[in-house]
Chain A
Amino acid sequence: MTLIEGHRSITPADGIPVFDVDPYDPAILRDPMEYYAELRALGPVVFIPRYSVLAVGRYEETKTVFSDHENFVSSRGVGLNDFKLEKPWRAPSIILEVDPPDHARTRKIMARALSPKVVKTMAESFRTVAEELVDRVLARGTIEAVTELAEAFPTRVFPKAVGMKDSHARHLVDYGAMVFNAVGPDNALRREAMARAGEIVPWINAACTRDRLTDDGLGALVYAAADTGEITEDEAAMLVRSFLSAGVDTTVTGIGSALWCLSQNPEAWEALKADPSLARPCFEEVLRMTSPVHTFCRTANRATEIAGYPVSEGTKVLCVLGAANFDPEKWPDPDRFDINRRPVGHLAFGVGIHGCVGQNIARGELEAILGVMAERVARIEPAGEPTWRPNNGIRALDRLPLKLIPN
């Protein structure tokens, strides 16, 4: 059997358009809009010869494939590697990279730990940290917002929410970036990220053990499920690891992207200032516009079809969430950033049984930081060109120079 990027090489069904592109080219990862548009224009599903994969980028098909957990499974990996054929780089996640019925058992524990009710209890502490950080950057005036706000906020509040006794902001952000680079091909981005695994992974694993967690955080809620016998102690550690894989780099990206959108759209900032309760709907539009997780894969676990085209077992399908969130068939005038759009159904948090389990805490963090900024910052202006940090799974800013003008 010929393997390419750790999955089966396929012969696409007749009629599927061929798209000669490298979706993981750093230039595309930095600025994917043309790639997204071409992907959607070519057809409901395309074949990308370079990696021998299918890809979907129109809203309907992306949503359908991404949520069809019976035909398109997650247990064979949400990146290019097929876990059935090649050993994954780390023990697979027991919530992300697993199918029903096993999935429901761990999902329920995480959903309970990250429920709106639990997140509500964190609102005050999120706000206190947001006030402190916003006052500090306001006093500085011109800032580099990725480091000073986007990274600073989640790395302060999230380890505390989890109840981590050890915290290492750099390791936490870089571990997330590593996990997301790992869903791509064996390119320079993935290799460079993996080169640091030896340093970061042991630290992460050690930080997830019970003795390194307080008894009043999200980690303790997960370990409580081990006490009642719902999961084992080892599984609890794995779920705490999931907090760290998916809960830091993602919200860092969300905050950076929100500030980027708002600095580019002063009228949206005015609207948010006039009504700070728009912070949550504003974040939804930021997510639709910027799709932090731009691409995840699914694997056809049996012969199936997409948009009427046959798909053979073992086919990897790139679900390009970023393209779907810009589909003009679904989102009128998709280029327009409109904080009153209420884009329910955007795919930035995924959809279906694997929809982001941490989305409430992400919303809570963004509500705190955007809410405090709307109260205290008169204007946000660009203070230089923003640059993007290419990553195989996540589209994040690398640098965002901003000028903040206080009220």
Chain B
Amino acid sequence: MVKVTFIHSDGREETVDGRVGDSVMATALANDVEGIVGECGGSMMCATCHCYVDDGWSERSGDRMDGEEDMLDCAASELRPTSRLSCQIKLSEGLSGLVVYLPEAQL
């Protein structure tokens, strides 16, 4: 199991267990974490699973994927250097403890 902490825009924190190989988006949905929509199911065709990766984790969670910028450009909330599509962050053992911040809106 990989621990992932989601911090909502109001400061509320939720820590859930994810499976290695699952995306952060799928982990949020499987655990009923509000604030991640994931409309396209992970095909990188929408920007409704937008999150901000905690500074301490940005290196380990990797760079944006090819094409991810174009979709992030469509996000409903402010874009920051730490913005990622959570469907493109795959959980590994090394990511246990990952902290991501959720934007105010996804749609």
Contacts and interface: CB of A to CB of B under 8 A. Distances in A.
Interface in A350-375: 350-353, 355-357, 359-360, 363
B40 A349 contact: yes
A107 interface: yes
A342 to B, nearest CB: 8
B47 A108 contact: no
Given A104-B66, A345-B26, A115 B41 contact: no
Interface size bucket, B side?
Answer: 10 to 19
Contact of B45 (A111, A280, A346): A111
Interface of B: 26, 29, 37-47, 66-67, 70-71, 73-74
Contacts of B44: 111, 355
13 contacts: A104-B66, A111-B71, A115-B70, A280-B39, A344-B29, A344-B37, A344-B38, A345-B26, A346-B41, A351-B42, A355-B42, A356-B45, A363-B39
A328 interface: no
- Provide the main secondary structure of the chain A interface: helix
Contacts of A353: 43
A116 B39 CA distance: 11
A284 B42 CA distance: 14
Given A115-B71, A344-B29, A350 B43 contact: yes
A116 B43 contact: no
Contacts of A355: 40-45
Contacts, number: 63
Given A344-B38, A349-B40, A359-B40, 17 more contacts: A104-B66, A108-B66, A111-B44, A115-B71, A115-B74, A116-B47, A116-B74, A117-B74, A280-B39, A284-B39, A345-B42, A349-B41, A350-B43, A351-B42, A351-B43, A359-B43, A363-B39
A112 interface: yes
Contacts of B47: 116
A357 B40 CA distance: 10
Nearest to B107: A280
A123 to B, nearest CB: 13
A343 to B, nearest CB: 9
B39 to A, nearest CB: 7
A111 B67 contact: yes
Shortest Cβ-Cβ A-B pairs, 7 listed:
A355-B43, A116-B74, A117-B74, A344-B38, A108-B67, A112-B70, A345-B41
B66 A356 contact: no
A20 to B, nearest CB: 33
